[in-house]
Amino acid sequence: MPTLSKIMGLVFTSALCGHTFAHDWISSRPDAHAPISVMGDHTHKTGELMLSYRYMEMDMNELLDGKDEINPRSLLKNSTYKMAPTKMTMKMHMLGLMYAPDDTTTLMAMLPYLENDMDMLMNMGSSLSPMLMKSSMESSGIGDIRIGALHNIYSDSRQKIHLNLLLSLPTGSIDEKNSQGALLPYAMQLGSGTYDLLPGITYAAQQESFSWGVQASAVIRLDENTRDYRLGNRYKVQSWVQKPLMRNLSASLRFTYEDWGEINGKDKRLNPMMSPLSDANLQGGKIVIGSVGFNLTLPAGNRLALEFNTELNQDLDGLQMAYEDSLMLGWQLSFK
């Protein structure tokens, strides 16, 4: 698993390569902001305020064990599991607010609303005499709110580096149940149930004909939640390059590596023999994602953006739903 110190080293190495740039930073360029899926990518000047809205939809249509695809029907016929997932869709609406009390610090907050839907196969018989039926489950509500600050540590006319210092609050439910009153598995819950530190570091640079950046970040769980478990820590590094296509439109290419650990402890209300999604020991993994996006600047401080993300490689620690692709749409409004 990559350590945050190693990831930060990549960012500072990238910064050393930025001194060949030869023009002043232009904040009005469409590529002055990172691709829309990157959170906390830029800071603001004193007194500036930015409102934002993001919509994300993510699809998972395969069950993997490591890198191997597992047929849900075969799983139920050849194991003691009673339920196996076949498809999951996650939707997120996120409101964001950024405010800069001075040129050094930008305060920010993010409020997510989540909608999760999962299709399942249920074995109403036995492994010797299976009787498979389709079922579904859903959950929706406020997720974990994030608050914190971005702190500039270096900037010149061509490049910028800032620290991401955020805290995730346990506002999302970890007690979501289905229509029969049964507790939903970990992936269908709306939050972590814990206070989580979200440290990171972001480097961005502009050249006359393109821009690029690197961000390293982590999610560090601070304690166990009220149900005696703690989600695994997450580590992410992502890098992007953007090309202005015209005065107000840019295209981007981004690559992301993310690694996340197993759950520590377990929710005793979940039976791991019922479904692999209820097993706390089958929750870790790592993934590489490739993304293509566009940024569009509009009058009066408005911006629109979209980004399509797809899985390039993933390796999951046990039976889990596999990430396939996602789409992020966003609107941003900056004013003073």
pLDDT at 127: 63
User: Residue 135 in contact with residue 83, Cβ under 8 Å?
Assistant: yes
Structural domain containing residue 194: 4-335
For 265-290, b where at least 16 C-beta lie within 10 A, e where not — what string? ebbeebebebbbbbbbebbbbbbebe
Number of H helices, E strands in the chain: 2, 17
Which tens digits make up the pLDDT trace of 287-330? 999 999 999 999 999 999 999 999 999 999 989 999 999 999 99
Higher pLDDT, 204 or 80: 204
CATH number of the CATH domain containing 289: 2.40.160.40
Which tens digits make up the pLDDT trace of 120-143? 999 887 666 778 899 999 999 999
Domain count, the chain: 1
pLDDT at 131: 82
User: Residue 34 in contact with residue 150, Cβ under 8 Å?
Assistant: no
Cα–Cα distance, 51 to 46 (Å, whole number): 16
- The amino acid at residue 119 is D
Which tens digits make up the pLDDT trace of 153-209? 999 989 999 999 999 999 999 999 998 899 999 999 999 999 999 999 999 999 999
**Of 23-27, 51-55, 193-197, 312-316, where does mean pLDDT reach its minimum?**
23-27
Average pLDDT, the chain: 92
pLDDT interval class at 8 (50, 70, 90):
very low
- The amino acid at residue 5 is S
- Among 306, 314, 296, 257, which Cα is nearest to 56's? 306
pLDDT at 99 over 70: yes
Cα within 13 Å of Cα(37), Cβ side = 28
pLDDT at 118: 97
pLDDT interval class at 23 (50, 70, 90):
low
pTM: 0.90
**pLDDT, mean of residues 251-276:** 97
